[in-house]
Copies of this chain bind each other. A is one copy, B any other.
Amino acid sequence: MSVVMMLTTLFLLASSACKHEMAKAEHNNVTLGMVRDSLIRQEDTIVYSLIERARFPLNPPTYDPSYASIPGFSGSLLEFFVKQTEAVQAKAGRYDNPEEHPFFPDNLPPSLVPHYKYPEVLHPAAMSININKLIWDMYFNKLLPSFVSPGDDENYALTAARDLECLQAISRRIHYGKLVAEVKFRDERKDYEPAIRAQDRFTLTNLLTFTNVEEAVKKRVAKKAMTFGQEVKLGDDGDKGKYKVDPAIVSGLYADWVIPLTKEVEIDYLLRRLN
């Protein structure tokens, strides 16, 4: 069974708790189990983060530059919050981990903690791939208005914190495409190399697409939204059919954004894989 076929099968299986796998991959041995476990576990994090954002209504002033009017800062409270929080996290070493991608990478302060040398699993070209601008626009323009209630409860700082959790979870999942692509490339090098040399996006897309896997992922994340977003009561099974975030929204997030944007990252990575 090829690695890709195994991935296809294993994608469908549940995982045990995962660690951050790139960090643990010794001597470049990224295993299928690592990739599988992480992708499945990251679904849970995305669902939890959406449920937690949905505690608050839209809270439009969070995104309105004219509301914040912070001295010395031009932008919305959300932008202020994300930039400042990313600066703290950069100092704490978050972006030393190649799995983490800041939304505002310019002028980030350096890490202040001892440098940990993460194993070099990926081609160095991976460093230059960051599609967080696309993710940001998708999240605020499409996703957010679809799953929170309209309205304003004045909890803008808490709202911004929850938005950042969602953004970071979705960004990590999509950029994990670099590792997925690397594993697929190593297993099927003879198939990928000609397409990469020809810079042929169409063939690469076909090589990377497994419709049955994608369908299973969409179904599984909807099931997770139902399971994690239900009202848990003692003595019965809760309100059936009433969820904190609509499962169809989570399924649609994967169908319309997570899966296609992951593929975008995979292709961006593969096109540079032989540089």
Chain A positions within 8 Å of B, measured between CB atoms, are 12-20, 23-24, 41, 44-45, 48, 51-52, 54-57, 67-71, 77, 80-81, 84-85, 88-89, 91-94, 96-97, 100, 112-114, 116, 118, 149, 153-158, 160-161, 216, 219-220, 223-224, 227-228, 230-234, 238-239, 244
* CB contact between A219 and one of B51, B228, B234, B238 (< 8 Å): that residue: B234
> In the complex, what residue of chain B is closest to A95 when comparing beta carbons?
B157
- Residues of chain B within 8 A (CB-CB) of A155 are 19-20, 23, 97
Task: Note all chain B residues with C-beta closer than 8 A to A93.
Answer: 77, 156-157
Contact yes or no, A84 B77, CB < 8 A: no
Q: Is the CB of B68 within 8 A of A113?
A: yes
Find A84's partner among B13, B44, B91, B153 (CB 8 Å cutoff): B91
Residue of B with least CB distance to A228: B228
Q: Provided the pairs A81-B92, A92-B157 are in contact, do residues A220 and B244 lie with their beta carbons within 8 angstroms?
A: no
Copies of the polypeptide in the assembly: 2
Bound complex: CA of A227 vs CA of B97, how far in Å?
31
Listed A/B pairs (22) with beta-carbon separation below 8 Å: A15-B231, A16-B231, A17-B55, A17-B244, A19-B57, A41-B55, A44-B232, A45-B55, A48-B51, A48-B228, A68-B112, A68-B113, A71-B112, A80-B91, A80-B112, A85-B88, A96-B157, A223-B234, A227-B228, A227-B230, A227-B232, A228-B228
* A234 CB, nearest partner CB in chain B, Å: 5
Q: How far is the CB of A25 from chain B (nearest CB, A)?
A: 11
B94 touches A14 (CB 8 A): no
Residues from chain B with a CB closer than 8 A to the CB of A239 are 14
Cα–Cα distance between A223 and B112 once the two chains are bound (Å): 41
A57 surroundings in chain B (CB, below 8 A): 19
CA of A47 to CA of B71 in the docked complex: distance in angstroms?
38
Interchain residue pairs A-B with the least CB separation, the first 4: A94-B157, A92-B157, A14-B233, A14-B231
Report chain B residues within 8 Å CB of A118. Answer: 154
> Of B77, B84, B89, B230, which is within 8 A of A157 by CB?
B89
